[in-house]
Structure 1
Amino acid sequence: MGRIIAVANQKGGVGKTTTAINLSAALAVQGKKVLGIDMDPQGNMSSGLGVDKNDDGANIYDLILGESTVEECIRKDVLENLDVLPSDINLSAAEIELIDNDNKQFIIRDAISGIVDDYDFIIIDCPPALGMLTINALTTAHGVLVPIQCEYYALEGLSQLINTIELVKERLNSDLEIEGVVFTMYDARTNLSLQVVENVKDNLNQNVYKTIIPRNIRLAEAPSYGMPINLYDSKSTGAESYRLLADEVIHKGEDD
């Protein structure tokens, strides 16, 4: 059965989508069959993996409304071993349209239940908010990977996210666990980045991945070309970091 990981942090600009894109691609390169699910109305995971957000095909919004099946919405083999369930700006209306739906917390879980066994990993990119779209991701997932930017306010809001995860685990999805925290945008030239890493490790009772994602120009450029970093510049430090993170994610699954 596929391992479903939600990449979540309600703060924007922490490298969440960058991590969802490049972890998905790095897992696929290692021969794992991967589905990337874009649950952010901005659709940046979709475009960052080369899917045209404005194509006429069905997407996750149509799936949520019950107007298309999951098979109709998935773009197959966007990259080798990597399929994508894309998003677009229409998804921002989903929260309103779901208000009267009694099953609104479980729509994605139920919609993809028939295809979970087709994949080794399903990576969900959550929107930067703790609304119904993120709740859907958390009721679907087995684990949550939390990217944290190496800056002074790194811990701000994190307790709120952890509290939400605990509530979902208690009331909606008893299988949900925090996979771990991954540091992003690390700048080795500053003491601040090092202090933040130490501070979080000291104050957060969670698994912290050994791999730290550096600030990297090539990593920042890649999405504008519709490519993950391992295709855009496979020799960059960003590409190497996500290869290492993928190794950790794979082996964590094997250890469990």
Structure 2
Amino acid sequence: MGKIIAIANQKGGVGKTTSCVNLAASLGVLEKKVLLIDADPQANATSGMGIQMDTIEIGTYQVLELTCDAKDAIIPSTSPNVDIIPAHIDLVAIEIELVDKEDREYMLKKALKDVKNDYDYILIDCAPSLGLTTLNALVAADSVMIPIQCEYFALEGLGKLLNTIKSVQKIHNPQLDIEGLLLTMFDSRLRLSNQVVDEVRKHFSSMVFDTIISRNTRLGEAPSYGETIIAYDATSKGAVNYLNLAQEILKKNS
């Protein structure tokens, strides 16, 4: 039975897509079967996995509309053991189109029923907003991972996201769990980075992953080549961080 993890934070630029793509690749090289779902209209996870946007005919948009089966939207990636349901800019329209639909929050959950057992992990890269697409991801997910950058406004908006998760738990998905808070873009030379780590650990203790994702040039370069950090530079600090994170998740879910 696959575990569905939504990677969400309505704040942009926190390393959400980077974490989704590289965690998927890391779980894949650790021999887990992974499905990555790009639920962000910017489609950065899709291009980050080396998929050409103009070749996409069906993807998350059609899956959310329930006009195609999730199975038909899945394409293999070049990353070992990782498949992807790609996104396209047309995903922007889905929010408006779902508004009048009955059970609009449950579209993704329904769509994933048939594929859930084919994978060990299904990772959903959410858009940086708390709209209907993100809500669909939270309703479909077993747990949510929240990336937080080690910067001044790190905790801004976190309360809002935690409230959204609480209301999803109350109304739509009582089983939704918090997989953990992931500290990203850490720079050990900066006092501020260290202060943010201390503060997040003080407030959320056991909810915070032990693994911290450091700032790493190679991590920033990899997507421009359409590669994961594992394929681009497996010995880099970024690759080591994400492999550690994958191992931490496997241990937590064993």
Per the alignment, residue 211 of structure 2 pairs with 211
Gap change, CA 1:56 and 1:130, over 3 Å in 2 = closer
Query: 1:3–1:142: 8 Å Cα contact kept in structure 2?
Result: yes
1:71 maps to which residue?
71
| Cα displacement (A) at 1:205 | 5.7
User: Retained in 2: the 8 A contact 1:151–1:192?
Assistant: yes
Tell me what 1:107 maps to: 107
Query: Which position in structure 1 is the counterpart of 2:244?
Result: 244
Distance in 1 (CA, whole Å) between partners of 2:156 and 2:215 is: 21
1:17 matched to which residue of 2? 17
Query: Are the equivalent residues in 2 in contact too, given 1:178–1:206 (CA < 8 A)?
Result: no
2:186 aligned residue = 186
The TM-score, its normalising length taken from structure 1, stands at 0.97
State the secondary structure of the residue aligned to 1:5: strand
Instruction: List gaps (5 residues or longer) in structure 2.
Output: none
Letter in structure 2 aligned against 1:252: K
Residues 167 and 89 of structure 1, relative CA distance in 2, 3 Å threshold: same
The residue type paired with residue 225 of structure 1 is Y
Q: How does 1:94-173 map to 2 (within 5 A)?
A: 94-173=94-173
Distance 2:112 2:29 in 1: 23
| 1:163-201 alpha-carbon deviations (Å, 9 max, x no partner) | 100110111001101111010000011111000100111
Distance in 1 (CA, whole Å) between partners of 2:46 and 2:166 is 29
- Identity across the alignment (%): 47
- Deviation, structure 1 residue 76: 2.5
Which 10-residue stretch deviates more, 208-217 or 74-83?
A: 74-83
Q: CA RMSD in A?
A: 1.0
1:60 counterpart residue number: 60
CA distance in 2, matches of 1:82, 1:88: 19
Counterpart for residue 227 of structure 1: 227
TM-superposition CA deviations, 1:19-44 (whole Å, max 9, x none): 00000000000000000000000000
**How far apart are the structure 1 equivalents of 2:150 and 2:57?**
38
11-20 or 44-53: which moved more? 44-53
1:25-77 deviation digits (Å, cap 9, x = unpaired)? 00000000000000000000011011112214211111222322212111035
How many residue pairs match? The answer is 254
Using the size of structure 2 for normalisation, the TM-score is 0.98
CA deviation string 1:107-142 (max 9, x = no partner):
011011011000000000000000100000000100
State whether structure 2 residue 50 is matched by structure 1 residue 43: no
Going from structure 1 to structure 2, the CA distance change for 1:160 and 1:205 (only over 3 Å counts) comes to: farther
Distance 1:157 1:93 in 2: 25
C-alpha distance 56-127 of structure 1, shift in aligned 2 (>3 A): closer
CA 1:78–1:101 in structure 2 vs 1: closer, same or farther (change >3 Å)? farther
Instruction: Name segments (4+ residues, structure 1) moved above 6 Å.
Output: none
Instruction: Check whether the contact 1:8–1:126 (CA below 8 A) recurs between aligned residues.
Output: yes
| Contact 1:49 1:227 (8 Å CA) reproduced | yes
